Each structure stands twice: as structure tokens, then as C-alpha cells.
Chain A
Amino acid sequence: DQQVKQNSPSLSVQEGRISILNCDYTNSMFDYFLWYKKYPAEGPTFLISISSIKDKNEDGRFTVFLNKSAKHLSLHIVPSQPGDSAVYFCAASALTSGTYKYIFGTGTRLKVLA
């Protein structure tokens, strides 16, 4: 049972345009959401997060939106740059048995075309 889903395995966007990566979740107990970026041959690196008490968090070119009623979050990258080409994972966490467990999606491969 995939509690965190990234239904688009890949996305291609022109340089300078907006990239929108989507993530859906099923567990209403998730209260903290994160996006990680992964380049080939490297481990994932933290990008941006959002708590369930907010609906938007912005950090430079990256904005994460959270729609709790739809159990949906999205990552917007504006403007997209070729260096943004990577695999993006969304993750959700909930306090379970006294500790936080992170559930990751399967990732979306973003390709930004120059």
C-alpha cells in the first residue's frame, strides 16, 4: 500500500518555465512533508519542507503548496534551470509509536531543457 504517491514518473520542462511536481498521500496522520532532490550517483538532498499547519512555504525559486483536504502537495520551481534536472522525491512523516517515520514517494524525474 503506497501511502505517498508521485503519479508522474517523469516531467520535461523548458528552461525558464515553471515546473510543477505533484504528490498525493492517503494517511491523514501525516503532519510534516518534505521534498528531496537526487542527482545520479548521489544521495537525496533536502530541498524544502512544510508543516501541516501551513498551506504554503517558499524558499527562493522553490515553493511547496499543501492542500490538506485533497491530501495533495506540489512543488513549484520558477524559473526552472537546467541544473534542476534531477529526481524529486516527496516524503511525509507522522509520529508513530513515539518516533517520526518518513514515507517516500517513488520519485519524479525532472528534465529541464535548455
Chain B
Amino acid sequence: DSGVTQTPKHLITATGQRVTLRCSPRSGDLSVYWYQQSLDQGLQFLIQYYNGEERAKGNILERFSAQQFPDLHSELNLSSLELGDSALYFCASSVVSGDEQFFGPGTRLTVL
């Protein structure tokens, strides 16, 4: 158990819909990262937050957005969903940027 929690575990929705994925980092970790893993793909970095502020952006689509709240939990919002958005979405946290990251169990999103 990494100490990072993600909800929900599974999500099935239809194209055009909007979903929110939630992540609670390990206690004491200030950095939160979001990754997408599609079939046969590596982990694609989406976005990083540090203590409530956006720190780095990766290959995140404009239809996707994220935020980190004062209690340090983070949410990833995916809108106008397309079939190709079906993937595993992982959240990771670290004490500070550059430290080893601890991953949550992931949310499997299926868009039908």
C-alpha cells in the first residue's frame, strides 16, 4: 500500500460525458502528479501540482483539467470524453518535486 488513494477504481461512461477522478496523496506529500496509461503505452505524464499550484504540464489535452485543493487532494476532470480517452489514470505523490513518486492503484476509465 503506497498510501496514495484514488477513487473511483473503475468508471464506465459514454462519449461526450464528463468525469472527475480523485486522488489523495500520501500524508505529508506536497506534490501530486497525474499520468495516463493507454493500452500498450507507457505512463504519459499529464500534469503536476505542488502545494496547490500547477507546476508542470505534460501531454494534457485541453478537454482535461486538474486542480489541487488546500487539503492537498487533487482532482482530474475529463470532459467531452472520446473513445480514445479510455485508459488507466494514475495519480502519484512525492514530498517535493524530484523525489521518488508513490503511485496510487489507478482509475480505469472506459468510454463507450
B98 with A4: CB separation less than 8 A: no
Report if A32 contacts B (CB, 8 A).
yes
A6–B101 Cα gap in the complex (Å)? 20
A20–B50 Cα gap in the complex (Å)? 35
Report if B48 contacts A (CB, 8 A).
yes
Report if A41 contacts B (CB, 8 A).
yes
Q: Interface size bucket, A side?
A: 20 to 34
Report if A78 contacts B (CB, 8 A).
no
Identity of the chain B residue whose Cβ is nearest the Cβ of A42 in the assembled complex:
B105
Contacts A102-B45, A106-B41 hold; do A93 and B90 have CB atoms under 8 A apart?
Answer: no
CB within 8 Å of A: which residues of B? 2, 4, 33, 35, 40-45, 48, 50, 55-56, 58, 90, 92, 97-98, 100-106
CB within 8 Å of B: which residues of A? 2, 4, 6, 9, 32, 34, 36, 41-46, 49, 89, 91, 93, 95-107
